[in-house]
Amino acid sequence: MPGSPERARRQVREVVFVDGVRTPFGKAGPTGMYAETRADDLVVKCIRELVRRNPSLPPDRVDDVAIAATTQTGDQGLTIGRMAALLSGLPSSVPGYAIDRMCAGAMTAVTATAAAIGVGAYEIAIAGGVEHMGHHPMGEGVDPNPRIVAERLVDPSALVMGQTAENLHDRFPGLTKQRADAFAVTSQARLAEAYRRGVIQRDLVPVATRSAEAGWGLATRDEPPRPGTTVADLASLKTPFRPHGRVTAGNSAGLNDGATACLLAAEDTAVALGLTTKMRLVSFAFAGVEPEVMGVGPVPATEKALAKAGLSMTDIGLIEINEAFAVQVLAFLEHFGIADEDPRVNPYGGAIALGHPLASSGVRLMTQLATAFAERPEVRYGITTMCIGIGMGGTVIWENPHHADYSRDHTHEESK
């Protein structure tokens, strides 16, 4: 009864990934396909497409819209989650907010809204990210506290991501430039094959583009890929972060523009509304590491997430890891005893080929894992993981609803 001192009760709910989409990723800069396209318009296209693809979802049932951007200014500012919700045509009753965890912005948008669903505060949420690195170069307008360097809290190289990758090569000398280049070639080849099979296109939202010089266009494919790249092609590239270094434009993700968004729901709500379940969230974790070797962040984050789930790496059948730099992926694989070309890892290619529009990339990993789950019903668990600037890592563990034990376990739980 009202005013009763009895403690309010809540039920922990299962959270599912219903659907995810993204724009084609573009090359940042004046010649890139999104040079004259607004960042907020990119994410608006994604939200509208989610609503279009899921007609059984009443738009007023969306409880929140969380959109990440690393540089929250200009056309990525003004509480972009709320602005994107309004611009997308969602009812004004749907709130929204902005998130910044650098490269893991969209991943954090997912985990934050999923946690809210898990404790019953929300039933349905939209989460994603956007980065227009052509309009807002990484680090634009920042003013690092001088204590960071003066008090030697971190090495100055921690503020330059390419230098942190060189530092990782120093720390793990077995992760040679040759291995990094070979991994990059594999990424390009796997993406080319995924495009050939029509895998990547399923999640892409066409975007109308404008150029004062060239007129109107339509972006339907990612701009960064370089199919046919060979190790010989990469061997002679310059090492911009260190003379005679090991990190090049060929074995790193580029500077890119793009947006992503996904639909999350409580599992019972998804069933009631007739929404699909592409993945179930099992656990997630973020971890800190030394900022000057931020690329190793996925290792402790994954160990933490696995421990929380009561799983080990042997239970993981698919891995989507963000390829900010080849060396950070290799460090992760080496730690867990996984071969450089293991088919479980980024089966459709990764950021070295596709691009990495910072805060948007976490959901791109998730959409590709959901696709791989559908193609690999024998795999029960997969992870999405990434390194994060200023010394962090993030990992989310997902369960495959196409796996035979998924339906059996859920039937058993419902009968209790």
Q: Is 262 a catalytic residue?
A: no
Q: Is 103 a catalytic residue?
A: yes
Structure token digits, residue 94 = 């749907």
The letter for the amino acid at 20 is G
Question: Can you point out the beta strands (E) in 32-153?
Answer: 64-68, 96-99, 124-132
SS3 375: helix
Distance CA 360, CA 76 (A): 12
SS3 212: coil
Q: Phi and psi of 382, rounded to 5°?
A: -140, 165
Q: Phi and psi of 17, rounded to 5°?
A: -90, 110
From the candidates 103, 136, 402, 403, which is the catalytic residue? Answer: 103
C-alpha distances in Å from residue 120, one per residue of 8, 94, 200, 266, 335: 12, 17, 34, 8, 37
At a CB cut-off of 8 Å and minimum separation 6, what does 126 contact?
Answer: 47, 50, 62, 64, 65, 66, 85, 113, 261, 262, 263, 264
From the candidates 132, 135, 387, 402, which is the catalytic residue? Answer: 387
Nearest to 379 by CA among 399, 407, 350, 349: 399
From the candidates 132, 136, 169, 356, which is the catalytic residue? Answer: 356
Q: Which amino acids are annotated catalytic? A: 103, 356, 387
